Amino acid sequence: MFNRQGAAARYAPREVQCAKDTKESEDPMISIGRIVLGVFLGITSICANAQGFPARPLKIMVGYAPGGGMDVLARIVTPKLTESLGQQVLVENRVGASGAVAADALTKSPADGYTIFMAESGTLVVPAINPSIGYDPVKSFAPISAVCSLPLAFVVNPAFPVKNMQELVALFKASPGKYSFATPGVAGINHLSFELFMRTAGVSAVHVPYKGASAMMPDIISGQVPVGVSSAAGAAGQVRAGKIRVIGITSLQRTSSAPDWPTVAETLPGFDASPRVFAVAPAGTPPTVIARWNEAFRFALGSKDVQDAYDKQGAVATPGTPEALAAQIAAETKRWATVVQEAKIKAE
């Protein structure tokens, strides 16, 4: 006789197990669906925020102290950036390690465009000197725009028997390692630019590092060190006073502020070792936000007021595209790393 109660007892566990199996088999799909939904909502949120950008004040980090050259360059351009973006742009000084402290802080900032970094070529050198530093110049940043270039000046004491770069090359070649050159410190762009010059010209000289330009210049003026590398702006006053002579600047073209100063490239074609200033955001910043910042920098750097103020600082405004800046950062990072390696430069 068919026992319905027994059959139910026998089949019930299997039905429960089947239901359990079905539930478990559906769980991965539910999880995937939730992940997809989460990603979609996240992307939607980012796009919505980017479209409304900027909705609050913005911040530009500078890796040097208030009142210094980089700080001044940032503060010159921020009023025009504020005008273009419609939100106040503030400068925050994150001082230390040739901009590395600010660069590291940028990598830890949200990739939303509200914090960017006004960096310079020295920031690209630091990882070559200290590989354990916490950022990669090529991978850690989202390029926005080039800002300006800052030609350096190769200067000599007026009594030194060299009037131009051709004569300096000839003198150094005639007496390898006999003469010295001064810079404001080890592994800075001033130092690396002269190392690049020596490798390009096939000459050698002894490096004498100082703790800053203010300590270096008196020894060049007195003739204790015959050759030095200065910022163009820093050299101008001493040149007018007749205390030093500029024999070459590191830009490809002569500057409008000192058209009588020749370029090193006039002796060594293609030589270009001027520090660059540029703006970057954290990697992963939405392209629409990068484009808005780029538009603002183009507006600001196209202003005659900004250009004139930069000219007084020895800087030349160089706005450009994010793509051009990405190529520049990659090329500069590789070039300076090669100079550091070949010259066997170590951090102090």
Structural domain 58-149+277-343, CATH architecture: 3-Layer(aba) Sandwich (3.40)
Give the pLDDT confidence score for residue 51 in this predicted structure. Answer: 73
Give 38's pLDDT tier (boundaries 50, 70, 90).
Answer: very low
| Beta strands in 5-64, from DSSP E residues, in sequence order | 58-62
The pair of three-digit structure tokens given for residue 244, joined into one six-digit string: 């030093």
Instruction: Please give the Cα distance from 152 to 247 (Å, whole number).
Output: 11
Say yes or no to pLDDT of 346 above 50.
yes
pLDDT tens column, 156-190: 999 999 999 999 999 999 999 999 999 999 999 99
- What's the average model confidence in pLDDT over 211-224? 95
- In this prediction, what percent of the chain has a pLDDT beyond 70? 85
First to last CA, the chain: 98
Q: Is the pLDDT of residue 19 over 90?
A: no
DSSP element (H, E) containing 144: strand 141-149
Confidence class for position 34, pLDDT limits 50, 70, 90: low
Domain segments of the chain as ranges: 20-51, 58-149+277-343, 152-266
Residue 212 sits at φ, ψ, to 5 deg, of 105, 160
With a cut of 50, say whether residue 17 has pLDDT above it. Answer: no
Rounded to an integer, the average pLDDT of 77-84 is: 98
Taking only the tens place, the pLDDT of each residue in 52-65 is 999 999 999 999 99
pTM for this prediction: 0.84
What are the contacts of 165-168 at 24+ separation with CB within 8 A? 165/247, 165/248, 165/262, 165/264, 165/266, 165/267, 165/268, 166/267, 167/247, 168/227, 168/247, 168/248
Stretch 317-340: mean pLDDT: 97
Mean local confidence (pLDDT), 320-328: 98
152-266 shares the fold of 58-149+277-343: yes
- Give the pLDDT band (50/70/90) at residue 202: very high
Across the chain, mean pLDDT equals 89
| The pLDDT value given to residue 146 | 98
CATH superfamily of 152-266: Periplasmic binding protein-like II (3.40.190.10)
At 5, the pLDDT band (50, 70, 90 cuts) reads: very low
Distance of CA 225 to the CA centre of its chain: 31
Q: What is the pLDDT of residues 99-116, one digit of tens each?
A: 999 999 999 999 999 999
